[in-house]
Amino acid sequence: MSKSGKADLRYEAANVDVLIAGAGPAGALAARHLALAGRLVLIVDRLRPASPRLGETLPGAGVRLLVRQGLGSVAEAGAHHTPVGGSLTVWGSPHAMPSDALRDPYGPGLRLDRAQFDAALRSACRAAGCSWWTASLQHLQRDESGWRIGLDDGRYVRTRVVIDATGRAARVARRLGVSQQRTSELVAVYRIAHPTTNTDLSRTVIEATPDGWIYAGRLADGRWAVGYHTLPKTAVQVRQSSDLWAATLSAAPYLRDCLGPIVWAEPGIAREAGGIGLSVPYGDGWLAVGDAALAFDPIAGQGLFNALRTGLAAAEALLAATPSALSAYGAELARVAAIYAGRRAALYQAETRWADRPFWQAQQQAAILAAAPAVG
Ligand SMILES: Cc1cc2nc3c(=O)[nH]c(=O)nc-3n(C[C@H](O)[C@H](O)[C@H](O)COP(=O)(O)OP(=O)(O)OC[C@H]3O[C@@H](n4cnc5c(N)ncnc54)[C@H](O)[C@@H]3O)c2cc1C
């Protein structure tokens, strides 16, 4: 409200071509691409202090995508992001299988400081002319002239198109009644670690254990992120008990020997990590991008690439402004979902040492369901 008590429309409403809900990598890339093409774009995101996203790696293909968009400076190794030299994976046998980033045709990935990475992408959006409101999308209504979107601070926005970039929550699509399909149950508990040996190792270490799998990777500041991926019930227990956490690590002999005695920083952070996707990723006047459209089990290591790629592809489909461009966008997502389901199934089926344990049974059940044709 202005001092006179009248509504000041400059600040209480907006009329834009595209409203983007969510300023993660998917929303930021879509917003920038549309703004550079001359569209009036408003991003809304309250950026509530979320749990830090520890140890996430942008694959080499993601680095290359950003370079091609003129955003190479966002993904440069340095004080915030560190190159990943490959991986050491203990899965299906007690022996570590090495992989070298030099063999990756896209080059090495980058273990990110996510807060810094996201902030750099948002700066690039602003530089391209996107407007920004610190607010959350709360409700939306459609009429003959487009959408009327209500925000949690009482403001509203009129727009022809809304992009759902709200991550796994898929706020827009779910408000429109679109269903989400969960393809696997998984929760990740992450902690910061100070190992005592191999502290400079640039490779990611992944080890399967009887009740889940563990990820460990060095951050640019020298600390390590260690994540345990398991069933939701086990995650709750492990997060609350340092004895259980220690027991979890002792079930990973390769990792234990590799990193030596570890000093742990408190507390553990839990994140939902199972696969989930929308039954349809677009409709009349809306599209979903990134995790909102399709979120992967982190073993895929492709979430960030998918967020950047779908942000860009959705913007291109909107600029093309034809029904076939939108259906091509939907078809690409369906293809990616099918490839992901096949690879994930093969990977979990390759670990047979604990076939009687609930974690591996649940993952293999999910793999069978993903491969089965829908009935009815
Ligand atoms: C444990 C774990 C480990 C992972 N590791 C990796 C990895 O190593 N490599 C990799 O590539 N990927 C990894 N991922 C996946 C990666 O985190 C996601 O794929 C990526 O963050 C998706 O980006 P996004 O822009 O779609 O969504 P997000 O980054 O989730 O951004 C969504 C944004 O929407 C905003 N928002 C939410 N609701 C509203 C609303 N109502 N109104 C407005 N804004 C809203 C949020 O504040 C947020 O800023 C991992 C995921 C998990 C769970």
Hey, what's the torsion of the CAs at 191, 79, 310, 140, to 10 degrees?
70
> What per-residue string of b and e applies to 114-132 under the rule 16 or more CB within 10 Å gives b?
beebbbbbbebbeebebbb
- The answer to whether 279 and 178 are in contact (CB under 8 A) is yes
List phi, psi (to 5°) of 107: 90, 175
Nearest CA to ligand 1 atom 18: 303
Phi/psi at 246 (5° precision): -65, -40
Specify whether 148 is located in the same domain as 243. no
Is there a domain that residue 149 lies in? Answer: yes
Q: What is the DSSP string of 187-252?
A: EEEEEEEE-SSSTT--SEEEEEETTEEEEEEE-TTS-EEEEEEE-HHHHHHHHH-HHHHHHHHHT-
Q: Encoding tokens for residue 123? A: 């700066």
Considering only CA atoms, which of 13, 286, 10, 15 is closest in space to residue 153? 13
At 90-108, the pLDDT tens digits run: 999 999 999 988 888 888 9
Residue 211: CB atoms within 10 A of its CB come to: 20
Q: What's the pLDDT tens digit per position in 357-369? A: 999 999 988 877 7
290 Cα: distance to centroid of ligand 1 (angstroms): 8
Asked whether residue 290 is assigned to any structural domain, the reply reads yes
Q: Is 376 within a domain?
A: no
Q: Cα Rg for the chain, rounded, in angstroms?
A: 22
Based on the fold, state whether residues 40 and 137 are members of the same structural domain.
yes
Residue 168 covered by a domain = yes
Residue 149 and residue 163 in contact, taking contact as beta carbons nearer than 8 Å: no
Amino acid letter for position 280: V
Can you give the pLDDT at residue 373?
54
Same domain, 48 and 145: yes
338: left (phi over 0), alpha (psi -120 to 50) or beta: alpha
Distance in angstroms (rounded) separating the CA atoms of residues 286 and 19: 10
Residue numbers of the chain with a pLDDT score lower than 50: 1-10, 375-376
Q: How far apart are CA 29 and CA 32, in angstroms?
A: 5
Closest Cα to atom 51 of ligand 1: 298
Burial of 204 (0-12, 13-18, 19+ CB in 10 A): buried
Residues 201 and 317 in one domain: no
Within this chain, do residues 189 and 263 fall inside the same structural domain, yes or no?
yes
| Span from the CA of 165 to the centroid of ligand 1 (angstroms) | 9
Q: From the alpha carbon of 303, which atom of ligand 1 is closest?
A: 19
- Tell me the CATH number at 42: 3.50.50.60
Residues 203 and 252 in one domain: yes
Number of domains in the chain: 2
* Domain-embedded: residue 133: yes
Which residue range(s) make up the domain with 65? 57-111+185-272
pLDDT of amino acid 372: 65
pLDDT of residue 335: 97
List all residues whose CB is within 6 A of at least one atom of ligand 1: 21-27, 44-45, 47, 53, 56-57, 136-137, 165-167, 169, 171, 188, 227, 271, 273, 290-292, 295, 298, 301-305, 307
Same domain? For 162 and 268 the reply is no
**Of 229, 255, 272, which residue is a domain's last?**
272
By DSSP bridging, strand 204-209 and strand 294-295 are unpaired
The answer to whether residues 354 and 360 touch, using CB atoms and an 8 Å cutoff, is yes
The Cα-based distances of 53 to 183, 221, 226, 231 in angstroms read 22, 15, 12, 19
